Amino acid sequence: MTVTEIISYKQDAEVQEAEVQLRSVADDARELVITDDASNAIALDLLSRVTKAGKRIDALKKRWLDPLNAQVKLIREDFTNMAAPAKEAEGILRQKTGTYRAEVAEAHRKEVEAARKEEERLRKLAEARQARAVERAEEKGEEPPQPAPFVPVIAPPEPLAKSVETDGGAKVTYRKVTHCEITDAAAVPREWCVPDEKRIGAAARSGVLTPDNCIAGVRVWVTEETVVR
């Protein structure tokens, strides 16, 4: 179906006729005033006509859209299949680069911890030397020397970069993502829970829940609706 054919549905005689019919019925419905059984019968007849006209419009819409939807589905599936290798490769590369970055982060953490421990060792060594110097000065009756300021000699490694620019000019940014999962639904506090509306609605429609036999926090009521067949 071409673009021209898509536009031409407005020129379809059946579509035009159905549209005029619906507008006419809608006008009659707005003007009708129900005052007795006779006028109510007219309303019911109008309701039947508008229902049939609506179904006719739906059928016409389906006739025009089905070929387009089939084509869209075919194109979507084709492009999804074409993109599948890229999606697979993306997942593989994300996993591999993520694993590598985690390994680098762990090595960085160990280096930082080693630097901290070495700095602590040197600081304690400097304190011990200062203590011995003070002790010798006191034995000689001399003024104890002032402690020399401690200057760390082990510089911790640079933290991992949050962004990396590739040779192709793309910018890859790393961000922390927090995940969670429910491990025990029964243990989740009530304020974090949401009532299951689908289950409650299904129970009400099947008669398990009724206006006179319901559960706390839920109201069930029955209304009458007009159905045209």
Determine, yes or no, domain membership for 42: yes
Checking if the pLDDT of 158 tops 90, the result is no
Cβ proximity of 56 and 18 under 8 Å: yes
* Residue entry with tokens 């007849």: 45
Query: What pLDDT was estimated at residue 184?
Result: 92
Cβ proximity of 153 and 125 under 8 Å: no
Determine, yes or no, domain membership for 99: yes
Determine, yes or no, domain membership for 52: yes
Checking if the pLDDT of 189 tops 80, the result is yes
User: Which residues fall within 8 angstroms of residue 228, CB to CB, at 6 or more apart?
Assistant: 47, 48, 51
Determine, yes or no, domain membership for 190: no
The tens digit of pLDDT for each residue in 55-77 reads 999 999 999 889 889 999 999 99
Confidence of residue 5 (pLDDT cuts 50, 70, 90): low
Determine, yes or no, domain membership for 204: no
Tokens of 227: 């159905």
The number of distinct structural domains making up the chain is 1
Query: What pLDDT was estimated at residue 200?
Result: 94
Query: What pLDDT was estimated at residue 218?
Result: 93
pTM confidence score: 0.52
State mean pLDDT over 101-106: 87
Confidence of residue 224 (pLDDT cuts 50, 70, 90): confident
Determine, yes or no, domain membership for 224: no
How far does the chain reach from its first CA to its final CA, in angstroms?
A: 34
Cβ proximity of 56 and 50 under 8 Å: no
- The residue with greater pLDDT, 131 or 151, is 131
Checking if the pLDDT of 111 tops 70, the result is yes
Determine, yes or no, domain membership for 218: no
- The residue with greater pLDDT, 158 or 33, is 33
Query: What pLDDT was estimated at residue 165?
Result: 84
- The pair phi, psi for residue 69, each rounded to 5°, is -65, -40
**CA distance linking residue 101 with residue 127, whole number of Å:** 38
Domain containing 67 equals: 3-173
Determine, yes or no, domain membership for 210: no
